[in-house]
Amino acid sequence: MRAFETAIETDAAVAPGAAVRRGRAIVITSGKGGVGKTTTTANVGAALAARGKRVALVDADVGLRNLDVVLGLESRVRHHLLDVLEEKVDLETALVRDKRNENLYLLAAAQSREKEDVDTAQMKALMAQLCETFDFVLIDCPAGIEMGFKNAVAGAHHAIIVCTPEVSAVRDADRVVGLLPSDWRPELIVNRLRPELVRKSKMLSVADVNDILRLPLLGVIADEPGLIVATNKGEPLAYDAASTTGAAYRAIAARLDGEDVSAPTVNTEAGLFGKIGAWLGGRA
């Protein structure tokens, strides 16, 4: 693994003798905490795996491990990211296979360590190694823009920005985009949208958010109780065929997989009562 250290300068570069890169490492980031990075990582990963892709999810939030819980895999985690980076165990040993899908694997974060313990060059090398055998490597980035963020981004080829329709989240997303490599073209997921509030002009719309961020729109996820229930149970909604939010995650996975899916939409059309309100309000 150490042989990679000097060889990997750019993300596309492959160390001599290494296998040809098969997959893409995508970092899921936001700057602001609590906007749904981990839930997004779990669900997009599950949806990609359900499409038959081999997916590795890497929890880069060292010290605040949570991806295992969201996936319902907490009882299966024996080793973590730092064990692998420090060569205490093999990568294969540390990867936890999802109980519902054999294509989905998790590399958990170390709970009792700090973000500063991660070596950036080793992290890059590990992502390159994962990309040899997986189609997608999704990296769940910690909040903030410090060392943890830098390490999470280091080995990635692409970024997904998760942003909620709030002033603080959009501001942080804008800041994070500015910190990513300038030749990247990050894609945007607008999370926790509440259509009824957008309709009443009480929440920024997807267009409002993207008027400012101006990123390719990868998906829109509405805020719904089902997400909380799913997290309670540790079952990603993306596996739920009946869920509209699950369908939204599956559409994101299809777009990431290169399928030409129609543009993401969320119904913010007013009902009859709302239309009367808009008519009266508009004429006032």
Partner 1 sequence: MVEFFRSLFRPERSSTTAKERLRLVLLSDHLSLAPDVIEALKADLFAVISRYVEIDASNADVSFEHREHDVAMTANIPILQLRPDRPPPPPPIVREPDPVTEAVAQSVAVDALEPEAMPPAGSGETVRPPANGSTPRRRRRRKPAQAPQVSQPQVS
Q: How far is the CB of 279 from partner 1 (least distance, A)?
A: 8
Q: Is 202 in the site for partner 1 (CB under 8 A)?
A: yes
- The interface region with partner 1, picked from 30-38, 96-104, 199-207, 250-258 by CB under 8 A, is 199-207
Q: Is 269 in the site for partner 1 (CB under 8 A)?
A: no
Beta bridge partners of 24: 136
Q: Give dist(CA 224, CA 186) in Å, integer.
A: 25
In the chain, DSSP assigns E strands to 24-29, 55-59, 96-97, 104-107, 136-140, 158-163, 187-193, 217-222
- The interface region with partner 1, picked from 43-51, 56-64, 254-262, 271-279 by CB under 8 A, is 271-279
Q: How far is the CB of 172 from partner 1 (least distance, A)?
A: 10
Q: How far is the CB of 281 from partner 1 (least distance, A)?
A: 4
Measured from the CB atom, the residue of 13 and 276 that comes closer to partner 1 is 276
Which parts of 161-180 interact with partner 1 (CB under 8 A)?
A: 166-167, 170-171, 174-175, 178
Q: Is 272 in the site for partner 1 (CB under 8 A)?
A: no
What track of x and - describes contact with partner 1 for positions 117 through 146 (by CB under 8 A)? ------------------------------
Residue with tokens 């995650």: 249
Per CB under 8 A, the list member of 40, 101, 205, 268 interacting with partner 1 is 205
Q: Is 2 in the site for partner 1 (CB under 8 A)?
A: no
Per CB under 8 A, the list member of 204, 237, 248, 252 interacting with partner 1 is 204
Distant-in-sequence, close-in-space partners of 217: CB < 8 Å, separation ≥ 6: 187, 188, 190, 206, 210, 263, 264
Q: Give dist(CA 42, CA 284) in Å, integer.
A: 46
Per CB under 8 A, the list member of 24, 200, 224, 257 interacting with partner 1 is 200
Beta bridge partners of 193: 222
Interface with partner 1 (CB under 8 A), residue total 24
Q: How far is the CB of 82 from partner 1 (least distance, A)?
A: 33
| CA dihedral sign, ordered 80, 84, 88, 94 | positive
What track of x and - describes contact with partner 1 for positions 211 through 240 (by CB under 8 A)? xx----------------------------
Beta bridge partners of 140: 28, 59
Q: Give dist(CA 248, CA 239) in Å, integer.
A: 11
Using CA atoms, how far residue 84 sits from 92, 97, 231, in Å, is: 9, 16, 27
Distant-in-sequence, close-in-space partners of 208: CB < 8 Å, separation ≥ 6: 165
Task: List contacts with partner 1 (CB under 8 A).
Answer: 166-167, 170-171, 174-175, 178, 198, 200-205, 208, 211-212, 276-278, 280-281, 283-284
